Amino acid sequence: MNQIVAIVGRPNVGKSTLFNRLIQRREAIVDSVAGVTRDRNYGKSEWNGRTFSVIDTGGYIKGSDDIFEGEIRKQVELAIDEADAIIFVTDVEEGITPMDETVASLLRKVQKPVLLAVNKVDNSMREKDAIEFYNLGLGEYYTLSSTSGSGTGDLLDALMQALPEPEVETATEDELPRFAVVGRPNAGKSSFINALIGEDRYIVTDIAGTTRDSIDTRFEKFGFKFNLVDTAGIRRKAKVKEDLEFYSVMRSVRAIEHSDICILVIDATRGFEGQDQSIFWLAEKNRKGVVILVNKWDLVEKDTMSSKQYADRIREEISPFTDVPILFVSALNKQRLLKALETAVKVYENKTQRIPTSKFNDHMLKLIEAFPPPALKGKYVKIKYCMQLPTPTPQFVFFANLPQYVKDPYKRFLENKIREQWDFEGVPIDIYIREK
């Protein structure tokens, strides 16, 4: 199971810079406008052969300076509850501030690994200044410069030692597909699940969730068999405000990583909001199948917008991955719920289908011959062979003489042609160009 590491701390200590370094991708986010970058607060990291998820809490804190403190406290409490380990970032230039002390006092009570990172230490003078951070009572600290990267290796080594060994999931003989119901709070996830399961709970057994906080419900009804991963009503915490964006994202990270297909429930009366998009991109980044359910469709004035217009608007937001089923449902009135299930099962079938290599070559090579990759610097790219890789999600490799000359637009062309010929609706596809 993938583990979650949360980066916490007050504003402007370098959390986002450290986050970028850990996920090894420079997104233009360090000084970007909030919400400009997709999934800017969540990423995958790998160290010494172990992968883990990183959440940068900084991007979720909005508001003026005077409400920062309350927001940070909330975020730290959530990170404590939901993450497997916490990196607390401080700033050597400013020394220990009252807000650092507040965060430290929360973290001292925690039964989870907490690593204290003293940032902006880029010379021996500052190395000496860092000694004062012992006063936070969190034991050993790690000095680093998230801008240059020095010191991050030591921090990660310590993190790997501190993180508990991840649980290994053992596949049972009748391993059923896992469908996670995700979405922002109050979109109707619980109503959807209750409507599906019904009062009589046909042969439904609750299996203790293999993750700490999601419950698998075995579902056997209408000829379908699967496990429903319910994130809606688990471990409600009185101290957590349900509308906290960070809370939903942390919840969704666990559920999505633990599923095959994500059923994203959105509230028709609110539209496809920023948080819905974050959850969608999380599923896409994890290469999961996706079905979008526009719930509460019965409450929308139909003369203001047709379902086609509504769906077109969502597809604009999720481009370029637009080959995703969008259904209009009402969990309350039990409208089109069976259709929603059928669609999720179909997306699972799409995700697991295998195309025979000979069939794939016959179709794709003819197309490539008719529309070859554009020549670059007078050199012509020749693709002679292609195949689907034996991976859990659809990945295709094309062997070429000059793979470096095949650019993204042509890869998109190949993807579109694959989708036209074979049904991969709801499933992300990866295209690789390799040297033959």
Question: What CATH number has the domain bearing residue 122?
Answer: 3.40.50.300
Domain boundary among 138, 162, 186: 162
Give 375-420 pLDDT, tens digit per residue: 888 899 999 999 999 998 999 999 999 999 999 999 999 999 999 9
Q: Residue 65: its pLDDT value, please?
A: 55
Residue 41 has pLDDT above 80, yes or no: no
* pLDDT higher at 297 or 303: 297
Q: Which two tokens stand for residue 407?
A: 């650019």
If you ran DSSP here, which 8-state letter would residue 3 be given? E
Instruction: Indicate whether 291 and 246 sit together in one domain.
Output: yes
Instruction: Indicate whether 189 and 156 sit together in one domain.
Output: no
* pLDDT higher at 337 or 198: 337
Q: Is residue 397 part of a domain?
A: yes
Instruction: Indicate whether 51 and 95 sit together in one domain.
Output: yes
Domain holding 431, by residue range, is 357-435
Q: Which of 52-56, 158-162, 191-195 has the lowest mean pLDDT?
A: 191-195
Instruction: Indicate whether 325 and 197 sit together in one domain.
Output: yes
**Which parts are annotated binding residues for GTP?**
9-16, 56-60, 119-122, 183-190, 230-234, 295-298
Q: Which two tokens stand for residue 14?
A: 């370098």
| CATH of residue 364 | 3.30.300.20
Q: Is residue 167 part of a domain?
A: no
Q: Which two tokens stand for residue 85?
A: 């380990």
Instruction: Indicate whether 15 and 151 sit together in one domain.
Output: yes
Average pLDDT, the chain: 81
In contact, 14 and 94? CB cutoff 8 Å: no
Q: Is residue 116 part of a domain?
A: yes
Domain count, the chain: 3
Instruction: Indicate whether 13 and 82 sit together in one domain.
Output: yes
Work out whether strand 141-143 and strand 85-91 pair parallel, antiparallel, or are unpaired.
Answer: unpaired
Q: Is residue 398 part of a domain?
A: yes
User: Read out DSSP for 74-137?
Assistant: HHHHHHHHH-SEEEEEEETTT---HHHHHHHHHHTT-SS-EEEEEE---SHHHHHHGGGGGGGS
Residue type, 224: F
Residue 62 has pLDDT above 60, yes or no: no
Calculate what percentage of the chain has a pLDDT beyond 70: 81
Query: Mean pLDDT throughout 230-241?
Result: 47
Instruction: Indicate whether 152 and 12 sit together in one domain.
Output: yes
Confidence of residue 82 (pLDDT cuts 50, 70, 90): confident
Q: Is residue 322 part of a domain?
A: yes
In contact, 302 and 296? CB cutoff 8 Å: no
Instruction: Indicate whether 13 and 129 sit together in one domain.
Output: yes
Calculate what percentage of the chain has a pLDDT beyond 90: 42
**Which parts are annotated binding residues?**
9-16, 56-60, 119-122, 183-190, 230-234, 295-298
CA angle at 385 for the pair 384 and 387, rounded to the nearest 5°: 160
Q: Is residue 423 part of a domain?
A: yes
Q: Residue 315: its pLDDT value, please?
A: 95
Instruction: Indicate whether 201 and 230 sit together in one domain.
Output: yes
Residues 6+ apart with CB under 8 A from 36: 29
Query: Mean pLDDT throughout 229-234?
Result: 56
Whether the CA torsion 8, 14, 18, 19 is positive or negative: it is: positive
Residue 236 has pLDDT above 50, yes or no: no
Q: Is residue 381 part of a domain?
A: yes
Confidence of residue 60 (pLDDT cuts 50, 70, 90): low
Domain boundary among 135, 162, 189: 162
Cα(98)–Cα(61) distance, rounded to whole angstroms?
Answer: 18
0.75 exceeded by pTM = no
* pLDDT higher at 158 or 230: 158
Domain boundary among 330, 352, 374: 352
Q: Is residue 414 part of a domain?
A: yes
Going from the C-alpha of 271 to that of each of 188, 304, 332, 336, the distances in angstroms are 13, 13, 18, 19
Instruction: Indicate whether 203 and 328 sit together in one domain.
Output: yes
Give 201-211 pLDDT, tens digit per residue: 322 333 333 33
Instruction: Indicate whether 335 and 381 sit together in one domain.
Output: no
Instruction: Indicate whether 375 and 323 sit together in one domain.
Output: no
